[in-house]
Amino acid sequence: MLVPALLVLLFCVRGRAGRSPHFLQQPEDLVVLLGEEARLPCVLGAYRGLVQWTKDGLALGGERDLPGWSRYWISGNAASGQHDLHIRPVELEDEASYECQATQAGLRSRPAQLHVLVPPEAPQVLGGPSVSLVVGVPANLTCQSRGDARPIPELLWFRDGVRLEGTTFHQNLLKEGTTGSVESTLFLTPSSHDDGATLVCRARSQALPTGRDTAITLSLQYPPVVTLSAEPQTVQEGEKVTFLCQATAQPPVTGYRWAKGGSPVLGARGPRLEVVADASFLTEPVSCEVSNAVGSANRSTALDVLFGPILKAKPESMSVDVGEDASFSCAWRGNPLPRVTWTRRGGAQVLSSGPTLRLQSVGPEDAGDYVCRAEPGLLGLGGGTAEARLTVNAPPVVMALHSAPAFLRGPARLQCLVFSSPAPEAVVWSWDEGFLEAGSRGRFLVETFPAPEGYRGQGPGLISVLHISGTQESDFSSGFNCSARNRLGEGGTRIRLGRRDLLPTVQMVAGVAAAATTILIVITGVALCCWRHSKASFSKQKNLVRIPGSSDGSSSRGPEEETGSGEERGPIVHTDHSDLVLDEEGALDTKDPTNGYYKVRGVSVSLSLGEAPGGGLFLPPSSPLGLPGTPTFYDFNPHLDMVPPCRLYRARAGYLTTPHPRAFTNYIKPTSFGPPELASGTPPFPYAAFPMPSHPRLQTHV
């Protein structure tokens, strides 16, 4: 068993001693960051000679510390064949192709490329760190990365950790072809929500996978953002409304402008507007425009104004032929929308509801005025009516009007009423002897004139009158035709002339005249009788009425001088008449008791009156009978149920009512009363049956 082991050992020694130098590990391409350490491995087998490294074909030396290359050295166990090249810190100049060579064996490793990576610097955003933009205006944000970054960095945009799209990349090269700078542009249209937002530009490459960030803040300038409100939003017509215009803006607001329906509201400048609401606010909104240095913004709002119906379009009158359709329309506006009904003038039946009335196949009976009515709103506001007339074109309608009967050989007049639409072409009177349309012919004359508006509840009409002078027997026996025609046809009526006899009328007039004559004779006889008795009574008693002397001294004498003895005639009643003086013969004269001071006419009349049993004075109402200028009579009949005595009742004392409204009366209180003097055969009567007369008592000393 020892023999085989020796054979194996021998074989191994002989195999090893027979191998040639070779590379157990060769250097490979290496990427290293600037400033870090680079290590290129090299391991040789079966070689114990000189080993060196070359850089781009330049030998670095065979010593382990590589003198002359302060940042370079060779490490590893030379006996084991390890010869690794170290570079620290790596610089850009170290980027080259390196080989490990076994000089004595003539071995060269494959070239190993050393790549030096340069991390990008922090990028810069033009205009940062606070960039001012205008809302709604497209803008560009530029991010730049400068330096010798290797490889070329990638520039990215982020907002709130989310990458933004819509960027472009641009690279600037130096003259030598090396990278000078790169930049990235972000296109955006900012909104008001972007104010204060933070955007990040990130420079990222293989040398720095996490990248380097630069943040900016957006400072936005924007026109006003307007909010317009009304309080209250729903309002009744006539109430006050306040509009409030609120705005946010950057830079601040510089002015307000109010408008209604597109027309400026004069005098309104601030953020508040107070108005009195009317119906126009429902269709003409109120707008508020707010301005600043960047621009302006406008907001508008319409009020919900409650108001009653207002007529917008009246129905139009129309004329149609009989059998055709007719249609009327009217328009009302209101809030809430009014209820519209149609009726016929003078009627209560609702013909239709809504803005349109349609009548099919109209006839003459449909002609008239139709009323479009809008009911008042919920609050009782507004409402009203509008009318339109329907004229139905049809053949004329002719009606006879009342005509008074006529005397034979006297004048007569016949009338007819014509309703026609369209207007009649002619109105003709015809009779046995002929016809007449207008003007005169023999005994006949025709006049035509418009009928009063709305006559007999119809529309416009004509009244045609036929005058007859000197009627004849044939006029009463035969009738007269009144006819009219238009383009749609003809209509007419027959009228008969009534006759009035002369004899009954004369008898009636004669009877009335005879009755009137009889009544006049009776009244005249009674008046003459009373007048004669009154005259006789005044003549017998001279102390009843006497003239007070001349006007020069009558007013200054006392009662005793004018009346004489009070025992003979009793107390005297002086009545001064401003207009009449009665003398002893009953003649009239004019006197002035004031001697011209008051410019009046006067006379004193003294009457002796008796007393009534039990005291007191009675004067019955004056009688209306008597001729002008005769004394006044007093009617006892209502109290005594007797015929007037046709004489004055003579009393001893009492008061006499002034017979003229401008009279002046002096009176003396009576001291005694005597029995009344009555005509023979006159029965006694109760004095107390007469009420005490309430006569005005005037005492005037002129």
Average pLDDT along the chain: 76
Q: Using a CB cutoff of 8 Å and minimum separation of 24, what contacts does 676-683 make?
A: 676/610, 676/611, 676/612, 676/649, 676/650, 676/651, 677/610, 677/650, 678/645, 678/649, 679/645, 679/647, 682/642, 682/645, 683/640, 683/642
- Taking the C-alpha atoms of residue 306 and residue 303, their distance in angstroms, rounded to an integer, is 9
Separation between Cα atoms, residue 604 and residue 608, nearest integer Å: 13
pLDDT of residue 455: 63
Say what the pLDDT of residue 242 is.
94
Identify the band that residue 609 occupies on the pLDDT scale cut at 50, 70 and 90: very low
The one-character DSSP state at 96 is: S
Q: How confident is the model at residue 330 (pLDDT cuts 50, 70, 90)?
A: very high
Determine the pLDDT at residue 600.
43
Backbone dihedral region for residue 280 (phi beyond 0: left; psi -120 to 50: alpha; all else: beta): alpha
Whether 410 and 425 have beta carbons less than 8 Å apart is answered as: no
Q: Please tell me the predicted confidence (pLDDT) of residue 672.
A: 44
So what's the pLDDT on residue 627?
44
pLDDT tier at 165, thresholds 50, 70, 90 = confident
554-578 average pLDDT score: 38
What confidence tens digit (pLDDT) does each residue in 411-423 have?
999 999 998 888 8
Residue 336 confidence class, pLDDT cut points 50, 70, 90: confident
Helices (H), 570-696: 637-640
Which pLDDT score is estimated for 428? 94
What pLDDT is recorded for position 636? 41
* 72 within 8 A of 84, measured Cβ to Cβ: no
pTM, entire model: 0.42
Both tokens of 672, joined, read 């005694």
Can you give the pLDDT at residue 71?
Answer: 94
Per the model's pLDDT, the better-predicted residue between 672 and 475 turns out to be 475
Of the candidates 31, 213, 212, 211, the one whose C-alpha atom is nearest the C-alpha of residue 117 is 31
CB 83 within 8 A of CB 72: no
Q: Which residue has the higher pLDDT, 632 or 132?
A: 132
The answer to whether residue 698 scores a pLDDT higher than 80 is: no
Amino acid at 605: V
pLDDT given for residue 506 in this prediction: 59
* 570, pLDDT greater than 50: no
Q: For residue 505, what pLDDT is reported?
A: 57
Query: What are the φ/ψ torsions at residue 186 (nearest 5 degrees)?
Result: -105, 125
- Total length of the chain: 702
Dist. CA 296–CA 249, nearest whole Å: 9
> Domains in the chain, start-ordered, CATH in brackets?
22-117 (2.60.40.10), 119-302 (2.60.40.10), 308-393 (2.60.40.10), 401-496 (2.60.40.10)
Q: Encoding tokens for residue 513? A: 């005249």
pLDDT at 459: 62
CA atoms of 637 and 652, how far apart (whole Å): 22
When pLDDT is averaged across residues 170-195 and rounded to a whole number, the result is 73
Cα–Cα distance, 93 to 148 (Å, whole number): 13
Q: Where are the beta strands (DSSP E) in 8-165?
A: 22-25, 30-33, 38-40, 43-45, 51-55, 58-59, 72-75, 84-87, 97-102, 107-108, 112-117, 124-125, 130-134, 139-146, 154-159, 162-163
Q: By CB neighbour count within 10 A (0-12 exposed, 13-18 middle, 19+ buried), where does 615 fall?
A: exposed
Q: Which residue has the tokens 């328009």?
A: 331
pLDDT at 696 over 90: no
pLDDT digits (tens, 9 = 90+) for 457-479: 566 789 999 999 989 988 898 88
Quote the CA–CA distance of 547 and 590 in Å, as a whole number: 12
Looking at per-residue pLDDT, the higher value among 382 and 128 belongs to 128
Closest residue by Cα to residue 17 from 9, 27, 25: 9
Average pLDDT over residues 592-604: 44
Which secondary-structure segment (H or E) carries 559?
helix 559-563
Consecutive H or E run containing 306: strand 304-313
Look-up of token digits 């009636």: 508
Of 376 and 550, the structure prediction assigns the larger pLDDT to 376
For 634-651, write each residue's pLDDT tens digit. 444 444 444 444 333 333
Q: Which of 345, 340, 346 minimizes the C-alpha distance to 314?
A: 340
pLDDT of the residue at 458: 64
Q: Which of 574, 416, 570, 426 has its CA nearest to residue 496?
A: 416
Query: pLDDT at residue 699 above 90?
Result: no
Q: What pLDDT is stored for residue 181 in this prediction?
A: 76
Residue with the larger pLDDT of the pair 130 and 7: 130
Rank 252-256, 559-563, 589-593 by mean pLDDT and report only the highest: 252-256
